[in-house]
Structure 1
Amino acid sequence: MLRVTDQTMTLAAQRALGARQARLAAAQATASSGTRITRPSDDPVGTGEALRVRARLAAGAQYQRNIDDGTAWLNTLDSALGSATGLLRQVRDAAIQGGNGSLNQDGRNALATQIDSLRRDLLATANTQYMGRSVFAGTSDAASAFTDGTPPTFNGTQGGTVQRRIGPDQTVRVDADGGAAFGTGPGSVFAVLDSIAADLRSGADPTSRLTALDAGMSAVAAARSDVGGRLSELARAGQATADAATSLEARRSGIEDMDLGKAVLDLQLQQTAYQAALAVTAKVLQPSLTDFLR
């Protein structure tokens, strides 16, 4: 027969007690942290999936930051183009008033001065910036999109656009071409305003410039319409990104997080098993001469 010594029983009891103690510690750590995976070895497959989900969450957060930044750019553009439209309408009204023949030369000069002021405001609008960048200058690092002159000089980069990535395969332009919106050289809207003011001061009829002015207003309106379309695209992308983030977070929680009820039940079971192991180990380790004689 196999003889089991007291030392063998003691070592076996100690090993069992250590194992129960380790399981109790793991259950306590899980219950307190609420996380099912505390180290990769807990669930290698789940750890890999959790890392992939977290990477997609991080990418989605960056896309959302890009969307927010692009929305701010486009809102700045929309406001600037709206202001430009209002200024050009005032110029048109002044040109019509100056060409109806009811004003003397002093009145026409006053209208010309008013148009000069509107031109300065329009130039300032064309040089609108966001976070230190000219929103109408493309990728150019010039201090302003237009340098004042007769006519103003466009400093933007032809063909250079500011883009924001809002998805794995999707980008959106967040700037506007100042040359297309306001024109360049003698054909710019600024040159039209200069001509209207010169006509008023010389006594000529400025209404002949209305066709060119209307063309400039149409270009500004077209640019604003394009900006509005891109704003709508960003809004849709932002909603899609938010929905994806909610879905991915639920998936991550399902992989990593522990069910609280299950964690508490497991902790209670491990505590009971540990107490039982303690009791058995105490019986094994305590024999004295009196216990032996019993």
Structure 2
Amino acid sequence: MTTISNSTSAFYDRSAMDIADLRARAEAMQADLSRGQRIARSSDDPVGASRLRQLQRADATSTIDVANAAKASTNLQLTDTALASFADYVTHIQELTTQAANGTMTDAARASLGAEIGQIRDNMIQLANSRDAQGGALFGGQSAGDAYAVTAGVAGYVGTGSAGDLPLGDGQNVTRGLTGPEFLAFPAGGASPDLLAALKTLSDGLQAGGTAAQQAARDGLAALDQGMDQITTAQTVVGTRLAWVELTTERRTNLTEMRANEESDVGGTDIASTVARLQETMTVLEASQASFTKLASLSLFSLLN
């Protein structure tokens, strides 16, 4: 009797374990299909899980790089727009100064042009104190305040020495903007330190009248040409930086797609294969349950009938 009892118990235990194992495998495959990932724990595939963690860390770092690139792009676009406005201002002042250099113009007319140039200069100072996307000084480097302060009519730069760099990933950086002196200051040896100072000299000279007013206009034209060259060069620099941001963004997008494909290959669920194996497992499970039910109902008395 002990032998029969032990055999019966072993039969039930083994059958229960087999059915439970089939159920667990079916549930695991259903879970894989539901979440789209075949690796739920590192123990499922240690090598694959390690690679997935590396890819996920790269994705997290890429998110930071994307934010930096967007910040740099926005600030550079604001800088480019402001530089275009500076160029428009200088072009208009050149037209006014050309009129003032005409020998037939009266002192009163020149004074009127000088006053207008002074107003445009004030607008340029306000433009030089524009804010970037984060509320800082657009042309003040890393300063939180204004880039230029006006004391007794003289505009002086009060920002930091550089605009600062932003990392774009893979060791690549981009300077997020320009400081005022980088496009307003004249090269060493000029009569004026920068364009704003040259405009003040021009405005004051035209309003002073007399024979010196016409000469002030002629000198002003030379300074304006120099100032326009500085602005044009700055526009080229900013355009190059924008192109660099776009290039690194495109490269980052390609790398992100490659990582996504690799993550799918390494840890993703093969839908077709998993569905086929699930159907096979469910078929075996149903057959095992039916067989167990039929065998469990058999007894020695049934065989004797």
Q: Same fold judged by TM-score > 0.5?
A: yes
Structure 2 counterpart of 1:252? 263
Moved more, 80-89 or 55-64: 55-64
Q: Is the aligned partner of 1:138 residue 2:141?
A: yes
Q: Is the aligned partner of 1:148 residue 2:140?
A: no
Kindly provide the CA deviation profile for residues 35-88 of structure 1, in whole angstroms up to 9, marking residues without a partner as x: 211222211111111111111122222212211111111111111111111101
Q: Which structure ranks higher in relative contact order (CA pairs < 8 Å, sequence separation ≥ 6)?
A: 1
Indicate the percent of aligned positions where both proteins have the same amino acid.
Answer: 24
Q: Residue 166 of structure 1: SS of its match in structure 2?
A: strand
- Contact 1:163–1:172 (CA<8 Å) still a contact in 2? yes
Q: How much does 1:208 deviate?
A: 2.0
Structure 2 counterpart of 1:226? 237
Aligned match for 1:12, one of 11, 14, 31: 14
Q: How much does 1:157 deviate?
A: 1.2
- Code of the aligned partner of 2:159: G
Q: Is the aligned partner of 1:157 residue 2:163?
A: no
Structure 2 counterpart of 1:56? 58
In 1, Cα distance between the equivalents of 2:208 and 2:8? 122
Output the TM-score relative to the length of structure 2.
Answer: 0.89
- Code of the aligned partner of 2:208: S
Structure 2 counterpart of 1:189? 195
Q: Is the aligned partner of 1:106 residue 2:108?
A: yes
Structure 1 counterpart of 2:293? 282
Q: How much does 1:186 deviate?
A: 4.9
- Aligned residue-pair number: 291
In 2, Cα distance between the equivalents of 1:55 and 1:231? 27
Q: Residue 81 of structure 1: SS of its match in structure 2?
A: helix
Q: How much does 1:189 deviate?
A: 1.1
- Code of the aligned partner of 2:268: D
- Contact 1:163–1:173 (CA<8 Å) still a contact in 2? yes
- Code of the aligned partner of 2:39: I
Structure 2 unaligned blocks of 5 or more: none
Output the TM-score relative to the length of structure 1.
Answer: 0.92
Moved more, 85-94 or 276-285: 276-285
- Code of the aligned partner of 1:63: D
Q: How much does 1:102 deviate?
A: 2.9
Q: How much does 1:287 deviate?
A: 4.0
Q: Residue 154 of structure 2: SS of its match in structure 1?
A: coil
Moved more, 63-72 or 104-113: 104-113
Alignment root-mean-square deviation, CA: 2.0
Aligned match for 1:262, one of 261, 267, 273: 273
In 2, Cα distance between the equivalents of 1:189 and 1:285? 100
Q: Residue 164 of structure 1: SS of its match in structure 2?
A: strand
- Contact 2:115–2:207 (CA<8 Å) still a contact in 1? no
Kindly provide the CA deviation profile for residues 122-164 of structure 1, in whole angstroms up to 9, marking residues without a partner as x: 11111121121112111222x2100123321211112x33211
Q: How much does 1:234 deviate?
A: 0.9
Structure 2 counterpart of 1:128? 130
In 1, Cα distance between the equivalents of 2:75 and 2:202? 32
